Amino acid sequence: MSDLGPELSFLRDRGFGAAVPTLALILGSGFGAIEAACEPQVRIDYVEIPGLPAPSGLPGHVCRLTQGCLWGVNALVFRGRYHGYEGFTARELGLLPRLAQGLGASLLVVTNASGGIRPGLEAGNLLAITDHINLMGLNPLVGLPRISGAARFAPMAGAYDPALVDALVAAAGRAGESMQRGVYAAVLGPSFETAAEVRALAAQGADAVGMSTVPEVIVARALGMSVCGLSLITNRAGSSDDSHDQTLRQGNDNAARLGRVLEQFVKGLGQPFN
């Protein structure tokens, strides 16, 4: 997919982008309850958008786009994402930020579930992503034709805006939550990591590991969007707790906490970061 013109025209004809969104939010595994905070103006399942690949139907992964009022701002809420482990191509993994940018969003907020690597990162902890390591073996910018409007050799320094990271941590404090900062490593999956792989990831500087997010961030930055990311630690990476069911349970159990943090973050967007 080199051009999303038909897809964007289809969405605009249905009211998406009629009001310029302040931000786009991608909800990770188990975080679907946060979607309920958005007062919908328009809503559509991904599968209804001509030209987009049909989601795999993996349990716990509802795929739906909503535009509406989210905690006082106009927002695009992507409930569910495309994953490399489901067989989607690198280009397809970058579809959501391309749609968001095409509909007018300049800020992308990504959320995910991940396994803790750094000592002290346990199930239930919140992590503001400060940087990433791409170990997926793919990049959505590879190949021709190029993604329209994207930098071919996009710089990734400061991919996660430091001011937005600070704002996210401050928002957590206002919500009564503790939030750590750290580096997120993305692997292809769907198998979880071996103990040896976890040691290797730690040696490379990773604090948490997951199977998503990075392709979206690469595309968003190549398109000039600002990015910040929030991860929920669902387990200790490489432990006996590694399972998709565990990830979904932790996501469901902690969605309200993430929602409170994101609410404070969104409400603070109009204020100076400090």
Return the active site residues.
Answer: 29, 61, 83, 85-86, 113, 211-212, 235, 244
Closest-CA residue to 226 (of 101, 142, 127): 101
Dist CA 236 CA 223 (whole Å): 34
Q: Establish how many alpha carbons lie within 13 A of residue 223's alpha carbon, considering only the half-sphere containing its beta carbon.
A: 28
Task: Give the position of tokens 């990162």.
Answer: 121
Q: What is the dihedral of CA 93, 180, 267, 247, to 10 degrees?
A: 50
Q: Which two tokens stand for residue 218?
A: 């690469």
Any bridge partners for residue 112, and if so which? 231
Task: Give the position of tokens 């490379």.
Answer: 204
* Residue 53 DSSP label: P
Q: Which two tokens stand for residue 157?
A: 């320094």
Residue pair 33/49 in contact by the 8 Å Cβ criterion: no
Burial class (CB in 10 A: 0-12, 13-18, 19+), 165: buried
Q: Which two tokens stand for residue 53?
A: 């690949």
Question: What residues contact 92, with CB distance under 8 A and at least 6 apart?
Answer: 1, 53, 82
Q: What angle is formed at CA 134 by the lines to CA 129 and CA 140, rounded to 5 degrees?
A: 110
* Residue 51 DSSP label: T
